[in-house]
Amino acid sequence: MTGDELPIGRRVARWRVRRSMTQQMLADRVRRSKSWVDKVERGVRTLDRYSVIQELAAVLRVDPEVLLGPDRPPPSATAGPLDGVDGIRAALARYDIPQAPAQEVDELRRQVGHAWLTYQHAHYAQLVRVLPGLLDAAQGARSPELLVQAYRICSSVLVKLGEPDLGWLAADRAMAVAGDDPVLAATAAVSVGQALRGLGRDRLALAVTAAAADRMVNALRRPVGELAVGGTLLLQAALAAAGCGEGGRAEALTVRAAGVAEVFKGYDDPHRNCFGPVAVELARVVVAVELGDGREAVQRHVAMLRREAWRRLPAEYRGAYLVDAARAYLQVGDLRGAARALVDADSAAPAEVRCRPLARTVIAEVARGHPAPAGVARLATLVGLTR
């Protein structure tokens, strides 16, 4: 493999060695963990934010394009609706929202419910257009429950679109609004964990989500919907532990989540977490991917696809998971398997593939195959990877 054909992680490793730096030295200079650098270099963790690539390039004293390679445009140039992020940022910066009339709260509840459905169907272009107005309305209504939900939706879509720092701000706002309400605080903690993981701050995400999970799961006589929040926090904590390289702790947290999931026979998911036995199995696959164990991840993935309950998950959930499954196939060198997962993800939720920087990076890795697997060339064109 020539220098131009190397994956971006290998390029980082090559330039780190040329600069006589250890992984720990590089980690210190970019304010990350040694584990994070190791995973980047091995291709376990993808570099899907151009700002991070710029930071690494500055420390390694090279141009960002040297790390990206000659045929890969910056990840920030996605085909997604990123222009709408400025409107969300402006809405988050407004503090002088007038009090909304009380009779509008029911209408706001309907709008928040519709926004959740829009998110679960992965209609992100539509969502970023309505979120600024929804945030204004929720702030004006002074309803903690609805405002927390609006901030959570906002945080989730921002993390998806490669803006985890802004997503963290929205999640932190949700936590502040939740106040002393334990259930609202727990649902907000889910978003905080997701945003911190998106920022590569897995250890902080682990601390937040594990503590919040203990408070929810250890309480007696929780309603099923509230236990689901606790189970979701356990899965978030497991993913964060895997991001820290703590496989044993990730497994223990997943086992606890599986125990919580055993009590579910179907419920209306009032907190929009989609928690249950299938969610636990999906998390096991992603944990294996984060730990770099592609073989186990692929085996679990193949078994999980046979389960009928998998097809009942929201489109967003299935699409996001299939992108992670593609990462698993890449880890074992199965480009055709990765291509199938990406094409299936695009079928389930096109925006998950066409708008997310992470998916775009995975597509680029698969498209480097000679010849590129069927279906991936079309996706590469759709997301702007070919000229």
Of the candidate ranges 76-90, 205-219, 318-332, the one whose mean pLDDT is the lowest: 76-90
pLDDT at 339 over 60: yes
**Cβ atoms of residues 277 and 303 within 8 Å:** no
Asked whether the predicted pLDDT for residue 80 surpasses 90, the reply is no
Q: How many residues does the chain have?
A: 387
pLDDT at 101: 53
The beta strand positions in the chain, using DSSP E, are: none
What average pLDDT does the segment 331-354 reach? Answer: 93
Taking the C-alpha atoms of residue 306 and residue 63, their distance in angstroms, rounded to an integer, is 46
282 neighbors 261 (Cβ within 8 angstroms): no
Element (H, E) at 322: helix 315-331
Looking at residues 114-120, what average pLDDT do you find? 93
Angle between helices 315-331 and 277-290 (to 10 degrees): 30
Asked if 264 and 277 count as a contact pair (C-beta separation under 8 A), the reply is: yes
Q: What is the DSSP string of 128-189?
A: HHHHHHHHHHHHHHT-HHHHHHHHHHHHHHHHHTT-HHHHHHHHHHHHHHHTT-HHHHHHHH
Which CATH code of 1.10.10.60, 3.40.50.920, 1.25.40.10, 1.10.10.10 fits the domain covering 82-312? Answer: 1.25.40.10
Name 78's Cβ contacts closer than 8 Å, sequence gap at least 6.
162, 354, 355, 356, 357, 360, 383, 384
Which position has the higher pLDDT, 7 or 124? Answer: 124
* Peptide bond just before 371 cis, omega within 30 deg: yes
Residue 358 · residue 323 · CB < 8 Å:
yes
Give the range among 76-80, 210-214, 231-235 with minimum mean pLDDT.
76-80
Distance separating alpha carbons of residues 20 and 330, to the nearest angstrom: 29
Query: What pLDDT, on a 0 to 100 scale, did the predictor assign at position 332?
Result: 92
Residue among 179, 216, 213, 175 nearest 195 (CA): 175
* 173-193 residues labelled b (16+ CB within 10 A) or e (exposed): bbbebbeeebbbbbbbbbbbb
Residue 261 has pLDDT above 50, yes or no: yes
Say how many C-beta atoms besides its own lie within 10 A of residue 85's C-beta: 18
Contact, 251 vs 235, CB < 8 A?
no
| Average predicted confidence (pLDDT) for the chain | 86
> What is the C-alpha to C-alpha distance for residues 373 and 342, in angstroms, rounded to an integer?
11
Tell me the C-alpha distance between 101 and 149, whole Å.
19
Pick the CATH number of 3-68 from 3.40.228.10, 1.10.260.40, 3.40.190.10, 1.10.3720.10: 1.10.260.40
CA–CA distance, 26 with 24 (Å, rounded to integer) = 5
- pLDDT higher than threshold 80 for residue 270: no
Burial environment of residue 91 by CB neighbours within 10 A (0 to 12, 13 to 18, 19 or more):
buried
Beta-carbon count within 10 A of 45 CB: 22
Q: What is the pLDDT of residue 7?
A: 79
Is it the case that residue 286 has pLDDT exceeding 50?
Answer: yes
What's the whole-number mean pLDDT along residues 107-133?
92
- Mean per-residue pLDDT for 167-191? 95
Instruction: Single out the residue of 365, 326, 371, 377 nearest to residue 69, CA to CA.
Output: 365
pLDDT over 70 percentage in the chain: 89
More confident residue, 25 or 47: 25
pLDDT at 103: 44
pLDDT of 77 reads 41
- pLDDT mean over 36-56: 80
CA distance 84 to 226: 33
What letter represents residue 34's amino acid? Answer: K
Residue with the larger pLDDT of the pair 6 and 207: 207
CATH 1.10.260.40 domain range(s) in the chain: 3-68
Which among 328, 321, 287 is positioned nearest to 307, based on CA atoms? 321
User: Which contiguous run of DSSP H or E holds residue 258?
Assistant: helix 247-261
Q: What's the rounded mean pLDDT across residues 75-92?
A: 67
Most confident of 267-276, 315-324, 347-356, 370-379: 315-324
How much is the pLDDT for 5? 59
Model confidence at 4: pLDDT above 60: no
Looking at residues 216-232, what average pLDDT do you find? Answer: 80
Numbered ranges of CATH 1.25.40.10 in the chain: 82-312
Count the Cβ atoms, other than its own, within 10 Å of residue 83. Answer: 10
Residue 2, pLDDT score: 46
Q: Is the pLDDT of residue 72 over 70?
A: no
pLDDT (0 to 100) of residue 220: 53
Q: Are 141 and 135 in contact (CB under 8 A)?
A: no
